[in-house]
Amino acid sequence: MSKLRIALTTGDVDGIGFEVTAKALHHLGPQKGVQFLLWRPDSASQKYLKLIDQKFERITVDDLSQALEIEGPYLIDIASDLAPAKWVELSAKACLKKEIHALATAPLSKTSIKAAGFKDLGHTDILKRLSGAKHVHMGFVGEKFNVVLATAHLPVKEITKHLSFSVLAEALLNANELRKKLPASQAKKPIGVLGLNPHAGEAGLIGQEELLFFPELVSFAKEKKIPFEGPLVPDAAFFPQNWKKYSVYLSLYHDQGLIPFKMIHGQDSGVHMTLGIPFIRTSVDHGTAKDIFGKNKANPHSMIDAVRWAVKLARL
């Protein structure tokens, strides 16, 4: 099998996932040396299937095992009655077996995952469970700047309990792996690590976390030869004049990084990457947008970027 296989999962059946994926495929067209495997429900809109057919020769199958048997210059269309969370699980298992080379995912709601009988809270938890990876982080690549989250979906009151030197060190290692995959002009810049407290603690006057974690983190970064600056003052770190100073921002909790990232990038750019697992997974950086399902209003730019990055990383 000379072609790279890229699996595309389209998320919630009543969300915008299939729409943005179809639009992304139409925009990108066939990619040299790549075979796309498209997971979608039996009930998927014929309008978007016809959109895909304008650019691809499509072969429809019922399951992944059939899809993996087909060679040639085709888009393999898996019309499945399985729960969308199962599409992710089966694709990830195939990635672990090297049968698929990358996975790009459309938005999947936590309620949909729960309805499938999974205990996982999101894509990241599914992939962490399947891969057995201990240190997995969410990364976000945008046109203006990039963000990695040191912690994931935690209640705000739980954040400080989950922060430690070892947590930040593992997050810094994954942020550094992302840095090395960026274009050379970005990759040469340091990783900017945000402080936790207002004013980055103001030398311990507004919280002790910066004093507890950062001296050891500086030594760790020096030992690992990771370019690093911090703690950055959180309310000033994301000023536009600072975007080009850093290859990646390492944010200590979910909203600290994603509020500025999503405010600046919206749906016009932005790719979510799972860092620390032994295969490539990219995704959109937005949700299911069920309020515009079926209205042909969904912006595909994030999915276009997610597919582009999946292809780019699979080729490395």
Question: Per-residue pLDDT tens for 105-161?
Answer: 999 999 999 999 999 988 999 999 999 999 999 999 999 999 999 998 899 999 999
> What is the reported pLDDT for 185?
95
pLDDT digits 0-9 by tens, 278-287: 999 999 988 9
> What is the reported pLDDT for 155?
93
Type of residue found at 156: V
Residue 99 has which token pair?
Answer: 């049968």
> What is the reported pLDDT for 269?
80
**At residue 5, does pLDDT exceed 60?**
yes
Type of residue found at 245: K
pLDDT digits 0-9 by tens, 240-258: 999 999 999 999 999 999 9
> What is the reported pLDDT for 28?
98
Among 87, 108, 77, smallest CA distance to 12 is for 108
> What is the reported pLDDT for 2?
61
Query: What mean pLDDT comes out for the span 207-213?
Result: 93
pLDDT digits 0-9 by tens, 159-172: 999 999 999 999 99
* 158-167 own/partner pairs: CB under 8 Å, 24+ apart: 159/196, 159/252, 159/253, 160/196, 160/209, 163/196, 163/209, 163/213, 163/252, 164/213, 165/212, 165/213, 165/216, 165/217, 165/220
> What is the reported pLDDT for 121?
84
pLDDT digits 0-9 by tens, 79-103: 999 999 999 999 999 999 999 999 9
Residue 311 has which token pair?
Answer: 């292809």
Within its chain, how far is the Cα of 19 from the centroid?
Answer: 19
> What is the reported pLDDT for 268?
75
The answer to whether residues 38 and 55 touch, using CB atoms and an 8 Å cutoff, is no
| Pairwise CA distance, residues 149 & 254, whole Å | 6
Half-sphere exposure of 1 (CA within 13 A, CB side): 15
Q: How confident is the model at residue 263 (pLDDT cuts 50, 70, 90)?
A: very high
DSSP 8-state secondary structure symbol assigned to residue 84: H
* 305-309 own/partner pairs: CB under 8 Å, 24+ apart: 305/141, 305/269, 305/270, 305/271, 306/24, 306/104, 306/105, 306/271, 306/272, 306/282, 307/6, 307/8, 307/24, 307/25, 307/28, 307/104, 307/282, 308/28, 309/104, 309/141, 309/271, 309/273, 309/282
Does the model's pTM come out above 0.85? yes
The answer to whether residues 137 and 193 touch, using CB atoms and an 8 Å cutoff, is no
List strands edge to edge, sheet with 58-61. 58-61, 75-80, 34-41, 4-9, 102-105, 280-284, 271-275, 137-141, 146-149, 248-251, 191-194, 228-232
pLDDT above 70: percentage of residues in the chain: 99
Query: What mean pLDDT comes out for the span 25-29?
Result: 98
> What is the reported pLDDT for 189?
98
Q: What is the 3-state secondary structure (H, E, C) of 94-134?
A: HHHCCCCCEEEECCCCHHHHHHCCCCCCCHHHHHHHHHCCC
SS3 139: strand
Instruction: Give the mean pLDDT of the chain.
Output: 95
pLDDT digits 0-9 by tens, 56-85: 999 999 999 999 999 988 999 999 999 999
> Which residue is it, tokens 């650019």?
55
SS3 136: coil
> What is the reported pLDDT for 193?
98
> What is the reported pLDDT for 34?
97
Type of residue found at 216: E
**At residue 1, does pLDDT exceed 60?**
no
Q: Which domains does the chain have, with CATH numbers?
A: 4-133+277-315 (3.40.718.10), 137-263 (3.40.718.10)
With both helix axes pointing from N to C terminus, report the angle between 209-223 and 165-181 in degrees, rounded to the nearest 10: 50
The answer to whether residues 24 and 309 touch, using CB atoms and an 8 Å cutoff, is no
Query: What mean pLDDT comes out for the span 39-55?
Result: 97
